[in-house]
C-alpha cells in the first residue's frame, strides 16, 4: 500500500456516495448520480490535492444491496464452535465463487475496504434505522478499518439525525459527522476531515495539510468572487452613454433606443459576472438563474452635483468665482472635443457659476444640451449588488452534488442584515460614487490603478 491516504466511500444504494465525492472533489461531473438504484457498478477513485500534492484518494463503490443475505452466507462459512475474526471471515468469503457471482457488488465493496485505510459510511438520514443497516455495518466492521458514518440528507425534511446517532453509538460508532452533500455546512468539510483524522492517526499530518490547503483555497475563492462583483458594480456605475444630437422629432426614439441598449448591456455584463462566478466555484454554466432586472428609465443626468464629478472638473462646491474660473477650463476642454462629462458642466451652470464663463455663453449651453448622457440608475446598482451578494451566499453553501439551479431574485430576500439594509437604502459606497465620475472605468480594460483601488475597496465592503 502506498503512503497516500486511501478512503473507501461505502453505504447502501442511493444514500449519496457518489454525491459526497462530487461535493468533496468540487467536481459536478464525477461519476454518475441518479435516483435509480445501482448506478455505480464499479469502484471509481479520485484524488484530493493539497497544494498540488496528493493528500488522499477517495473510492466510490457500488451500493451494498443485500447485506442480510451476505452476512448469513458468511456465517455459513464458519464451522460451529470455530473462532474466526472479521478479516478472516471476509477473506473466506472473497475466496468463494459467490464473490464473483451472486454477491459481486458486495465483494467489490469489501475488497475496496480492505485496500483502504479508512471508510466513510454514507447514510440517508431520512431512512429509519433498519436491520439491513445493522448487518451492513457488521459486514463493514469485519474488514477492521476505521469507519466514519456521514449523515447525508440532513438538510432534508424528516431527517432522523438523533435516531441515527443513537443507533450508531450502540454499535460503537461514536464519531459521526452530519454532511448534506447538496447543502453542506460551511465548515462541514473541515469537520469531516478533522474527525477522520482522529480515527487514523498515522495520516493526521496529511489530512491537516488538506484542511489547511482547502481553507486557503476557499479564502482565495471568496476574495476573487468579491472582486468580480466589485468590478461589475464599478463598471456599471462608471458607465456613461452619450446620446447624440437629434432633431426634436426623433429625440424620443433616440432616447428609447439608448435606454434599451444600456439595459441590455447591463444585463449582459451582470450575466458575465454570474458566469465567471460559476466557473470560479466550479459549477455548471446554467447552475444559477437570475430573474430579469426590473425596468427603469436609466438615469438622466441626476448626478449633476456629484462632488467627485465636479472635483474632476476643478470645481469645489460653494467657493464662488475661483471655482467658476476652474470650471471654465473644464468646459472649454469639453467643447474642444474632450469629454469630461456634460453633467458636471451643467451642474456648474445650475450652481450659479454660469456668468463666469463669460463669452462662452449660449454656444456652450447649446452644445451641452445636445449631449445628454445616460447612466445606470442607483436603484439598478443596488439591485445588482443585492442579487450578487445573494448569489455569493448561495454558491458558498452549495455542494457539487446539487442538481437544481440557484434562483436569484435579489429584492425578495427575507432576512436583512445591516449590510443588506445598507445596499437597499443607505448611501452607496464611496468607490461607486467615484466611479460615476470616471466613464473610462466602464471599460473592462480601462481605468488603471485608480479603478483597481476602487474595486479593491469595494470588494472589502462586499465581505
Ligand X SMILES: Nc1nc2c(ncn2[C@@H]2O[C@H](COP(=O)(O)OP(=O)(O)O)[C@@H](O)[C@H]2O)c(=O)[nH]1
> Between 182 and 201, how does the x/- string for binding to Mg ion read (CB under 5 A)?
--------------------
Taking residue 200's Cβ as centre, other Cβ atoms within 10 Å add up to 17
112 binds, among Mg ion, ligand X, none (CB under 5 to 8 A by kind): none
Q: Does 106 bind ligand X (CB under 6 A)?
A: no
Of 61 and 433, the one with the shorter C-beta distance to Mg ion is 61
Least gap, CB of 394 to ligand X (angstroms)? 15
Q: Does 309 bind Mg ion (CB under 5 A)?
A: no
Of 112 and 388, the one with the shorter C-beta distance to ligand X is 112
Distance CA 72, CA 74 (A): 5
Which stretch in 9-17, 101-109, 168-176, 203-211 sits in contact with ligand X by CB under 6 A?
9-17
Q: Does 18 bind Mg ion (CB under 5 A)?
A: yes
Of the candidates 8, 16, 133, 207, which one interacts with ligand X according to CB under 6 A?
16
Nearest to 291 by CA among 310, 261, 271, 269: 271
Q: Does 14 bind ligand X (CB under 6 A)?
A: yes
Q: Does 455 bind ligand X (CB under 6 A)?
A: no
Residues near 48 by Cβ (< 8 Å), separated by ≥ 6? 24, 25, 54, 55, 56, 57, 58, 210
Least gap, CB of 39 to Mg ion (angstroms)? 5
Task: Specify the 3-state DSSP secondary structure of 288.
Answer: strand
Write down the residue that cell numbers 451494498 correspond to: 64
Of 18 and 152, the one with the shorter C-beta distance to Mg ion is 18
Q: Does 15 bind ligand X (CB under 6 A)?
A: yes
Least gap, CB of 58 to Mg ion (angstroms)? 12
Q: Does 63 bind ligand X (CB under 6 A)?
A: yes
47 pairs with which residues across the strands? Answer: 57
Q: Mind giving me the DSSP string for 305-321? A: T-HHHHHHTTPPTT-HH
Of 34 and 198, the one with the shorter C-beta distance to ligand X is 34
Least gap, CB of 87 to ligand X (angstroms)? 25
Q: Does 153 bind ligand X (CB under 6 A)?
A: yes
What is the CA angle 111-117-121, rounded to 5?
A: 75
Q: Does 181 bind ligand X (CB under 6 A)?
A: yes
Nearest to 386 by CA among 233, 184, 166, 215: 233
Backbone dihedral angles phi then psi of residue 151, each to the nearest 5 degrees:
-85, 110
Touching ligand X, residues 419-448 (CB under 6 A): none
Of 16 and 298, the one with the shorter C-beta distance to Mg ion is 16
Distance CA 147, CA 121 (A): 7
Of the candidates 24, 182, 349, 459, which one interacts with ligand X according to CB under 6 A?
182
Least gap, CB of 408 to ligand X (angstroms)? 20
Of 103 and 121, the one with the shorter C-beta distance to ligand X is 121
Task: Specify the 3-state DSSP secondary structure of 297.
Answer: coil
Span between the terminal Cα atoms of the chain, in Å:
45
Of 35 and 75, the one with the shorter C-beta distance to ligand X is 35
Using DSSP bridges, classify how beta strands 44-50 and 53-60 pair: parallel, antiparallel or unpaired.
antiparallel
Residue closest to ligand X, measured at CB: 16
Q: Where are the beta strands (DSSP E) in 271-369?
A: 288-290, 299-300
How far apart, in Å, are the Cα atoms of 58 and each of 10, 112, 259?
10, 10, 53
The C-alpha cell at 36 is 435509480
Largest pairwise CA distance in the chain: 116
356 binds, among Mg ion, ligand X, none (CB under 5 to 8 A by kind): none
Of 110 and 346, the one with the shorter C-beta distance to Mg ion is 110
Task: Specify the 3-state DSSP secondary structure of 122.
Answer: strand
> Between 375 and 414, how does the x/- string for binding to ligand X read (CB under 6 A)?
--------------------------x-x-----------
Which stretch in 11-19, 215-223, 381-389, 422-430 sits in contact with Mg ion by CB under 5 A?
11-19
Q: Give 111: exposed, middle or buried? Use CB within 10 Å, 0-12, 13-18, 19+.
A: middle
Q: Does 40 bind Mg ion (CB under 5 A)?
A: yes
* Residues of this chain that bind Mg ion (CB under 5 A): 17-18, 40
* Residues of this chain that bind ligand X (CB under 6 A): 13-19, 33-35, 39-40, 63, 152-153, 156, 180-182, 401, 403
Amino acid at each position: 500500500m502506498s503512503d497516500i491516504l486511501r478512503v473507501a466511500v461505502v453505504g447502501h444504494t442511493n444514500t449519496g456516495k457518489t454525491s459526497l465525492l462530487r461535493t468533496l472533489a468540487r467536481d459536478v461531473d464525477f461519476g454518475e448520480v441518479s435516483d435509480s438504484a445501482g448506478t455505480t457498478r464499479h469502484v471509481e477513485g479520485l484524488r484530493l490535492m493539497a497544494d498540488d500534492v496528493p493528500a488522499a484518494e477517495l473510492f466510490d463503490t457500488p451500493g451494498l444491496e443485500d447485506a442480510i443475505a451476505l452476512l448469513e452466507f458468511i456465517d455459513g462459512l464458519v464451522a460451529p464452535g470455530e473462532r474466526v475474526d472479521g478479516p478472516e471471515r471476509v477473506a473466506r468469503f472473497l475466496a468463494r465463487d459467490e464473490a464473483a457471482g451472486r454477491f459481486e457488488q458486495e465483494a467489490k465493496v469489501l475488497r475496496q475496504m480492505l485496500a483502504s485505510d479508512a471508510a466513510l459510511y454514507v447514510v440517508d438520514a431520512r431512512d429509519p434505522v433498519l436491520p439491513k443497516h445493522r448487518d451492513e455495518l457488521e459486514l463493514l466492521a469485519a474488514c477492521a478499518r476505521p469507519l466514519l458514518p456521514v449523515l447525508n440528507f440532513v438538510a432534508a425534511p424528516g431527517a432522523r439525525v438523533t435516531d441515527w446517532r443513537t443507533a450508531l453509538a450502540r454499535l460503537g460508532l461514536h464519531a459521526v459527522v452530519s454532511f448534506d452533500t447538496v447543502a453542506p455546512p460551511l465548515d462541514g468539510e473541515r469537520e469531516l476531515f478533522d474527525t477522520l483524522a482522529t480515527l487514523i492517526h498515522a495520516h493526521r499530518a496529511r489530512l491537516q495539510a488538506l484542511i489547511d490547503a482547502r481553507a486557503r483555497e476557499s479564502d482565495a475563492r471568496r476574495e476573487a468572487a468579491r472582486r468580480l462583483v466589485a468590478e461589475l458594480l464599478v463598471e456599471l456605475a462608471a458607465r456613461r452613454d452619450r446620446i447624440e444630437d437629434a432633431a426634436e422629432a426623433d429625440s424620443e426614439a433616440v432616447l428609447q433606443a439608448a435606454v434599451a441598449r444600456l439595459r441590455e448591456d447591463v444585463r449582459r455584463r451582470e450575466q458575465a459576472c454570474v458566469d465567471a462566478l460559476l466557473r470560479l466555484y466550479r459549477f455548471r454554466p446554467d447552475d444559477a438563474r437570475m430573474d430579469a432586472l426590473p425596468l427603469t428609465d436609466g438615469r438622466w443626468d441626476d448626478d449633476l452635483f456629484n462632488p467627485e464629478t465636479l472635483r474632476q472638473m476643478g470645481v469645489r462646491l460653494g467657493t464662488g468665482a475661483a471655482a467658476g474660473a476652474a470650471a471654465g477650463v473644464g468646459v472649454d476642454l469639453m467643447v474642444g472635443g474632450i469629454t469630461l462629462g456634460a453633467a458636471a458642466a451643467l451642474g456648474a451652470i445650475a450652481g450659479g457659476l454660469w456668468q463666469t464663463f463669460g463669452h462662452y455663453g449660449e454656444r456652450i449651453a447649446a452644445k451641452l444640451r445636445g449631449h445628454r448622457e445616460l447612466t445606470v440608475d442607483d436603484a439598478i446598482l443596488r439591485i445588482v449588488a443585492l442579487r450578487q451578494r445573494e448569489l455569493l451566499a448561495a454558491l458558498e453553501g452549495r455542494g457539487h452534488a446539487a442538481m437544481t439551479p440557484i434562483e436569484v431574485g435579489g429584492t425578495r430576500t427575507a432576512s436583512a442584515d445591516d449590510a443588506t439594509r445598507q445596499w437597499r437604502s443607505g448611501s452607496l459606497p464611496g468607490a461607486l460614487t467615484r466611479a460615476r465620475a470616471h466613464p473610462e472605468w466602464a471599460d473592462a480594460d480601462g481605468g488603471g490603478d485608480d479603478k483597481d483601488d476602487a474595486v479593491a475597496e469595494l470588494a472589502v465592503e462586499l465581505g
